[in-house]
Amino acid sequence: MKTTFSRKQLAIPYSLFLIIFVILPLLVIGFYALTDSTGRFTLSNFLNFFTDTNTLGTLFYSFALAFATTAVCLLIAYPTAYFLASSKWKFKSVIVMIFVMPMWINFTLRITAMKEILNAIEGNLAFYPFLNSVIGMSYDFLPFMILPIYTTLTKLDRSLLEAAKDLGAKDMTAFLKITLPLSLPGIVSGVSMVFLPAMTNYVVLDMLYNSTYIMGSLIGSYFSAYDWHNGSMIALVLLLIICVFTLLSNGDAEDANARGGALL
């Protein structure tokens, strides 16, 4: 007998995955965040988040770090992607590959190498913890910024630029009025892939001897002290911030089909 799969049946593996690894953990986090140690419903964890100066300070530091990292990545990635997308050079796919290649190397190895280089330059890593963290993270996340921007720029119809110039725009005006707005989906995609991980990825900080807490390390510290409730609330608030950020950036970007980038 011939076995046929309906579309619904084909969705079963992922649905199971989704339930076990996404929905259940979320429910568990939500449960812990809204209960106290006796298991009773409470909002005190939520109040703690916004009253504890330590938590708010960490939130501010994380934001600052993520903002600086995103800015550095964007400043490096946009010109690079623009140059690569507009050049007719036949080796440009090789260059794109070189930018992506660090992603194939183990993360710890990369950051360790970066640490040694920074150490050699600065003498002691403890002098500039914030700067070092920004450099380390930018290095780590740069491909995630370049690829989506590069993809949107290569898809840009060159005749639009010709049309703009035909209508009297100088090169710079054509860039500001046409290229930049049309590459916005790529920028949004890149920013969301860099900004959010940069707020929580404390491994980079640890490895570069930056002892300041960011959101990720704060959650970790609560969990290692067996305070599941406050830790979960921080995770939940972060999740909400991320959701709001994503919804805002997705606002009218229906055609943000470059999300993720075709090469990823």
Q: Which residues bind other proteins (CB under 8 A)?
A: 88, 157, 159-160, 162-170, 173, 177-178, 181-182, 255
In the complex with other proteins, the residue whose CB is nearer, 135 or 174, is: 174
Minimum Å gap between C-beta 89 and other proteins is 11
Minimum Å gap between C-beta 162 and other proteins is 5
Q: Tell me 2's DSSP state.
A: -
In the complex with other proteins, the residue whose CB is nearer, 94 or 167, is: 167
Best CA proximity match to 150, nearest among 63, 11, 261? 261
Minimum Å gap between C-beta 157 and other proteins is 7
Name the amino acid, one letter, at 150: Y
In the complex with other proteins, the residue whose CB is nearer, 54 or 159, is: 159
In the complex with other proteins, the residue whose CB is nearer, 167 or 247, is: 167
Minimum Å gap between C-beta 163 and other proteins is 4
Report phi then psi at 35, rounded to 5.
-130, 160
Q: Cβ distance 103 to 147 under 8 Å? A: no
The CA dihedral of 227, 229, 235, 236, to the nearest 10 degrees, is 180
Q: Which residues contact 200 (CB under 8 A, 6 or more apart)?
A: 62, 214, 215, 216, 219, 238
